[in-house]
Amino acid sequence: AHDNYPADVKDLFVFQRTASWCVPRMDQPTPNSIREKILDDGGKSTLRVEEWKNIETFYQLINEESSNKVVRDGIAQGIRAIIKDPKVADLLIPKIVFFAKRPLVMDNYYQSFNKDNVHLISDPGGVVKATETGLQTADGRHIDVDVIVSAAGFDAGRPTIEKIYGRKGIELNKSVGFTGHPKTDILAPHTVLGIHIPEFPNLYVMIGAQALNPVTNINIMCKRQSEHIAEAICRCESEGAIVEVSHESADEWTKICHKSSLDRVWSKANNYYNKNGTLPLSASYWGTVATYFDYLNEWKKNLHFNVAKNHQKNRSKL
């Protein structure tokens, strides 16, 4: 429902199952001070550190109930101030805490509903059928349309590589939480730090299950995980060992992940982070980036290699 849709559109229907929080992009020109840092050789690292600090602050903001309520109330007040029809405004105000589902980021979304040819079709049951002439909602309404733009979401985090097996014939997908069969058949991931998996020696997974929360900066996480993996590989090469974590270590990390999820904003609604409530809370590490990095440092400090002639029997333990 953006201002820039073609002028010859007679009517625009926005189908909504549940309202999502929406915030403006604020896509203003990049300030010269930031441009200079980007061009500077060390500037990118400085910006990442600054971004990291902002992420930590934002994480605390959304997970503290009183602060989250201030954000929700502020956005709701803004929605009511923008939209002329109070009934439409009420339908567009979410009933969930802020960031329990990923917010929409776009300009002029709410302003669009003041146009005579923009219509909100809100039904908790959603669209149930596409016909030859349009769409039908769960409450029985049928809307004739010429063009359908689908925005039904996506399934994030599902492995796309199949048939990787470790010791004892264990399949990788099952170890990281997926059976590869019906999409609702999801298991609990079983890893250490989201990187190491029992029965898969010398295999490293980046940005996987049990490794990050939904407000993690991926660039920062990739950099730190790659450093961790490189350090482990270098030690293996220098000491003639392999990296293989125990099931007990994975059990312990899974407990840490579950504990980190308690009272977090993402546990308060069905969303794609938890696969609409089908994925256990232990499937992600819900703590801050800083505390996750602390665990990485602790792992490295406590890592011991048992070197023997038969390297296949060497094992590093957490």
Non-local (6+) Cβ contacts of 187 within 8 A are 174, 177, 178, 179
Counts for the chain of helices (H) and strands (E), in that order: 9, 9
Of residues 239, 210, 215, 224, the one with CA closest to residue 316: 239
Higher pLDDT, 311 or 246: 246
Residue 1 has pLDDT above 70, yes or no: no
| CA–CA dist 262, 258 (Å, integer) | 7
Mean pLDDT of 296-316: 55
Provide the 10 A C-beta neighbour count for residue 176: 23
User: Which pLDDT score is estimated for 309?
Assistant: 33
Asked if residues 9 and 145 have their Cβ atoms less than 8 Å apart, the reply is no
Strands 104-105 and 22-23: parallel
> pLDDT tens across 74-103, in order?
999 999 999 999 999 999 999 999 988 888
Least-confidence region, from 153-167, 243-257, 270-284: 153-167
Mean pLDDT of 8-13: 89
Burial class of residue 86 in the structure, from the number of CB atoms within 10 Å of its CB (0-12 exposed, 13-18 middle, 19+ buried): exposed
**Domains of the chain: which residue ranges?**
12-144, 167-317
Of residues 70, 137, 84, 143, the one with CA closest to residue 113: 84
At residue 317 the predicted structure's pLDDT band, cuts being 50, 70 and 90, is very low
The answer to whether the Cα torsion of 235, 239, 242, 244 is positive or negative is negative
> pLDDT tens across 166-199, in order?
998 888 887 776 655 545 455 678 899 999 999 9
At residue 303 the predicted structure's pLDDT band, cuts being 50, 70 and 90, is low
User: Which pLDDT score is estimated for 217?
Assistant: 77
> pLDDT tens across 133-168, in order?
999 999 999 999 999 998 766 666 666 666 789 998
User: Which pLDDT score is estimated for 157?
Assistant: 60
> pLDDT tens across 198-217, in order?
999 999 988 888 887 777 77
The reply to whether CATH 3.50.50.60 applies to domain 167-317 is yes
Residue 6 has pLDDT above 90, yes or no: no
| Cα–Cα distance list, 309 to 48, 236, 306 (Å) | 43, 14, 10
Asked if residues 193 and 211 have their Cβ atoms less than 8 Å apart, the reply is yes
Mean pLDDT of 215-222: 82
At residue 267 the predicted structure's pLDDT band, cuts being 50, 70 and 90, is confident
User: Which pLDDT score is estimated for 189?
Assistant: 83
Report the predicted TM-score, pTM, of the whole model to 2 decimal places: 0.76
